[in-house]
């Protein structure tokens, strides 16, 4: 691989102490992940600087280093060669971590406590992996707020005032709906700690949740003309545009969540039987939907002319290196970009994002006379109550149900 990078003296890089023996494998790994030769060559140019840092530390092997120790070897990117060395360190860290050659740092008390809690959520309560991860991240924040690593005995003398202080800190940047979830997670964590005898009994019952009322949120549905305008505004002459159009069309056609779009795989599309199998990470059971001609055309256009060759089985991939599956946040970012270019006015502050397309589809079908049960089946809901959340009536809908106002005859004024 090094011979194909047009380096002036490739042997001088291969002869570097410690790094010389891993450079060839690293370059092959970068090439497989979609990095162009120019980007790989730049990382190789930064290897002498990293080798000098290893020599100053007296390190003769990379195997005993942890990820944080390896990243600490990167110089400050104050000049060009140092920036190349920093890029090399980042790529080398990912390469060695994937191969399992980095040492694992000892787990902190916070990590051990959160790991035990996540195991409880998965084994006892049967929560989805994404929910378990979200709970674990939030409770790690709570333990860091208490400075649990400095003194693990602090949980035994935990007071409700400290819990309230944590909630007050989170409440400065979270709304009531989000704070409801935080308080629910915190109560669950406190019950888990109570069962282990780590916190005083009854703390979970003292955690109050903010009040959210049914139907209090403003409608999140866009007019269907705005949805069509958004789709038409996407530039499909580029690989990114073809990918984004296919993603937005899937959401507007089937009401998919962003996590479902990101999780779609090549094997989920059955072209002969004209069906699409929608993975649903939120509930854990897939949903089978008919494959429409418009969606099939958009997917084929992206797969043939925008996706490129990749060993990854996910349909939607990043357009920048390293090539890999998209995350849910990337789907939201794509919607924000095209909605801004199309001049789409969001239904309400904080009610944007591609999820409003899911609401728009539900309202659009309802106005066409589709039953709530059919809409719920399309959205993958188990109860009509879940579907009704998507069918909040707007002013235009209320005008159609208003009764005519009959004006009484004005009595004549006696002269």
- The residues annotated with a catalytic role in the active site are 257, 282, 355, 358, 381, 390
Question: Which tokens is 122 given?
Answer: 């998965």
The residues with which 298 forms a beta bridge, in sequence order, are: none
Look at residues 313, 329, 319 and name the one whose alpha carbon lies nearest to residue 257: 329
Separation CA 21–CA 380 (nearest Å): 52
Separation CA 305–CA 298 (nearest Å): 11
Separation CA 86–CA 75 (nearest Å): 7
CB-facing half-sphere around the CA of 82: CA atoms within 13 A? 7
For residue 287, give the 3-state DSSP assignment: strand
Give me the helices (H) in 74-146, please: 80-99, 109-123, 129-145
In the numeric block, the tokens 């990382």 are attached to 43
Look at residues 188, 146, 150 and name the one whose alpha carbon lies nearest to residue 163: 146
Sheet with 275-278, edge to edge strand ranges: 269-270, 275-278, 287-290
Residues sharing a CB contact under 8 Å with residue 31, sequence separation 6 or more, in sequence order: 1, 37, 40
Query: Is the distance from CB of 250 to CB of 296 less than 8 angstroms?
Result: no
Look at residues 316, 351, 353, 323 and name the one whose alpha carbon lies nearest to residue 337: 353
Separation CA 188–CA 184 (nearest Å): 6
Query: Is the distance from CB of 62 to CB of 53 less than 8 angstroms?
Result: no
Separation CA 302–CA 241 (nearest Å): 9
């Amino acid at each position: 691989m090094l011979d194909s990078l047009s380096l002036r003296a490739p042997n001088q890089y291969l002869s570097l102490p410690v790094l010389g023996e891993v450079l060839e494998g690293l370059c092959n790994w970068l090439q497989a992940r979609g990095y162009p030769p120019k980007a790989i060559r730049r990382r190789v140019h930064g290897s002498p600087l990293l080798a000098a840092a290893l020599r100053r530390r007296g390190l003769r092997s990379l195997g005993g280093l942890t990820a944080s120790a390896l990243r600490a070897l990167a110089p400050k990117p104050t000049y060009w060669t140092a920036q190349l060395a920093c890029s090399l360190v980042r790529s080398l860290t990912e390469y060695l971590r994937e191969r399992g050659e980095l040492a694992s740092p000892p787990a902190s008390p916070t990590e051990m406590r959160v790991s035990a809690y996540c195991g409880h959520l998965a084994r006892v309560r049967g929560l989805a992996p994404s929910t378990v991860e979200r709970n674990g991240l939030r409770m790690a924040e709570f333990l860091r707020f208490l400075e649990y690593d400095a003194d693990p005995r602090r949980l035994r003398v935990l007071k409700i005032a400290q819990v309230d202080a944590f909630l007050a800190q989170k409440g400065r940047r979270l709304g009531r709906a989000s704070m409801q979830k935080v308080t629910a997670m915190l109560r669950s964590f406190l019950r888990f700690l109570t069962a282990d005898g780590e916190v005083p009994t009854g703390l979970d019952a003292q955690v109050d949740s903010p009040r959210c009322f049914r139907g209090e949120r403003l409608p999140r549905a866009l007019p269907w003309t705005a949805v069509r305008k958004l789709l038409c505004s996407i530039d499909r002459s580029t690989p990114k545009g073809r990918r984004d159009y296919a993603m937005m069309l899937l959401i507007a056609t089937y009401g998919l969540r962003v996590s479902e779009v990101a999780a779609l795989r090549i094997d989920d599309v059955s072209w002969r039987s004209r069906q699409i199998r929608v993975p649903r990470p939120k509930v854990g059971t897939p949903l089978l939907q008919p494959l429409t001609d418009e969606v099939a055309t958009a997917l084929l256009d992206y797969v043939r002319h925008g996706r490129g060759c990749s060993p990854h089985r996910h349909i939607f991939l990043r357009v920048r290196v390293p090539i890999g599956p998209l995350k849910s946040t990337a789907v939201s970012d794509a919607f924000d970009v095209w909605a801004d270019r199309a001049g789409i006015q969001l239904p309400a502050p904080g009610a944007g994002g591609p999820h409003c397309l899911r609401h728009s589809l539900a309202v659009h079908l309802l106005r066409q006379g589709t039953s709530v049960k059919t809409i719920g089946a399309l959205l993958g809901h188990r109860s009509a109550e879940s579907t009704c959340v998507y069918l909040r009536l707007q002013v235009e809908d209320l005008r159609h149900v208003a009764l005519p106002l009959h004006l009484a005859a004005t009595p004549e004024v006696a002269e």
